[in-house]
Amino acid sequence: MQRTTPTTTTTVRAWSGSAANMLAFILLMAATMAALGESSLKPDALSAAAKGTKWAVLVAGSNGYENFRHQADVCHAYQILKKNGMKDENIIVFMYNDIAHNSENPTPGIIINKPGGPDVYKGVPKDYTGDSTTAANLYAVLLGNKTALTGGSGKVLRSGPNDNVFIFYSDHGSPGVIGMPVGDNVYATDLTKVLKAMRVKKIYKSMVIYVEACEAGSLFQGLLPNNINIYATTASNPVENSYGYYCPGDYDHPDVSKYGTCLGDLYSISWMEDSDVNNLASETLKQQYNAVKKRTTMSHVMQYGYSGISRDFLSTYMGENLKSASSRVESIQSTSSSSAPTSRILFASQRDANLRYYQHKARKAPKGSPQSAKAHESLSVEIFKRQEEDRKINLIVNFLLGSTKSSMAFNTVRPAGQALVDDWDCFKSLVSTYEQRCGHLSTYGRKYTGVMANLCNLKVNKEQFDRASLQAC
């Protein structure tokens, strides 16, 4: 049912008396509405309700200067929505917020997402920063549940059945998991539960989700139904890395060297640079998916959920500002000149991007200087930590399966369409047991969550895994 106009509201008050009167009134109104059809409603109110409001939730899952790019991606996404007419009250941002004023940032207060690019930090709402960037707060925001929040601005989705929701996430992922800057990971199964609950609560009409992360496909494969009006695309399939872009050592541009860290991620900058220059009201999600897939050459950009949504125009989810479309030709030219690489481009996987950061620091520091010594030490520590994580997980798997069978845990890949793991509770408990016994999984070590999923599929239980972890760590 559509909302009643102010005139009928007055009538309701006048009629309110006995319950019998009320019932008579309702029957009369129903008959009148049926007779008049939708024409009894004010056209403005009708079209506004039918069009709905666009909402967005933007999430950078990491912190630390070496992860500059994830917050840069999210800030850039905000600028796109803002430029296209979405209001701050409808855009909810999760970012740790330690980049703009980081002591390593050569341009304090400014974040760029491509070499020679504009400041994308300006105006970004600081809804959930620092300690409030948790998975629990993300779920509360998505479910529109203010009382479940801890800290933050208190902004949650207040959307209804006619509203569309766009979610963009950028960070490190691993099989079955995406990270948040603080506290627990977001597990694929929990995210799916939240999305299904959103559907039941009727807080969206259609939803589009873009995810930049390693193994991002594992968030949705075999989990996201195609009958709840959600369409998702991911930077990678369930078993591969996604890639940083504009990275030191890869991309030859003075800004990349100056910042000393990757400025963006390949899938993310591909959709955003596409949205920057095209008319969102005439490009469909499908067309954007194809453009992004073409440019994202290092991993397989995937689609999940209800593909019918991909026929919608980008403006249905990212805002529509007709004025901004006129600058199209100009922007294309400025984009291609400012970001043209002057030499070869290689790629740093999400997992190796922090290694690039330390390597670049070590290379850049004057030979023999204290900075150089410090940079080389940081690099060695990073490499050592990686070897330790390799060693621990190998020991655990050997202990559980024996050396001949251990490759089953490392190399088994589930067929397309099947979720990563059958028993998600087992999976979650192995990941948390590992972290309790052997230390927090690093960005690099997270790749082993896939091994833990395989162990669950091989019917290893929590107690066995706990004993093995005790032995190894």
The catalytic residue positions are 172, 214
Among 22, 36, 50, 148, binds ligand NAG (CB under 6 A): 148
In whole angstroms, the minimum distance from the beta carbon of 156 to ligand NAG comes to: 10
Q: Which lies closer to ligand NAG via its Cβ, residue 203 or residue 213? A: 203
Q: Which lies closer to ligand NAG via its Cβ, residue 194 or residue 213? A: 194
Among 18, 39, 147, 404, binds ligand NAG (CB under 6 A): 147
Q: Which lies closer to ligand NAG via its Cβ, residue 148 or residue 322? A: 148
CA distance 205 to 162: 5
Q: What is the largest CA-CA distance in the chain?
A: 91
Q: Please state the separation of Cα 463 from the chain's center in Å.
A: 33
Q: Which lies closer to ligand NAG via its Cβ, residue 5 or residue 145? A: 145
Q: Are 91 and 83 in contact (CB under 8 A)?
A: no
**162 Cβ contact list (under 8 Å, min separation 6):** 49, 50, 51, 52, 53, 205
Tell me: does residue 22 bind ligand NAG (CB under 6 A).
no
Phi then psi dihedrals of residue 56, to 5 deg: -140, 145
Site for ligand NAG in 86-145 (CB under 6 A): 145
Tell me: does residue 24 bind ligand NAG (CB under 6 A).
no
Tell me: does residue 154 bind ligand NAG (CB under 6 A).
no
Site for ligand NAG in 404-463 (CB under 6 A): none
Q: What is the 3-state secondary structure (H, E, C) of 296-325?
A: CCCCCCEEEECHHHHHCECHHHHCCCHHHH
Tell me: does residue 190 bind ligand NAG (CB under 6 A).
no
Q: Which lies closer to ligand NAG via its Cβ, residue 48 or residue 148? A: 148
Q: β-strand 173-174 against 164-170: which pairing, if any? A: unpaired
Of 235, 216, 231, 96, whose CA–CA distance to 165 is shortest? 231
Count residues near ligand NAG (CB under 6 A): 3
In whole angstroms, the minimum distance from the beta carbon of 195 to ligand NAG comes to: 15
In whole angstroms, the minimum distance from the beta carbon of 2 to ligand NAG comes to: 25
Buried b (16+ CB within 10 A) or exposed e, 114-123: bbebbebbee
- Would you tell me which residues interact with ligand NAG (CB under 6 A)? 145, 147-148
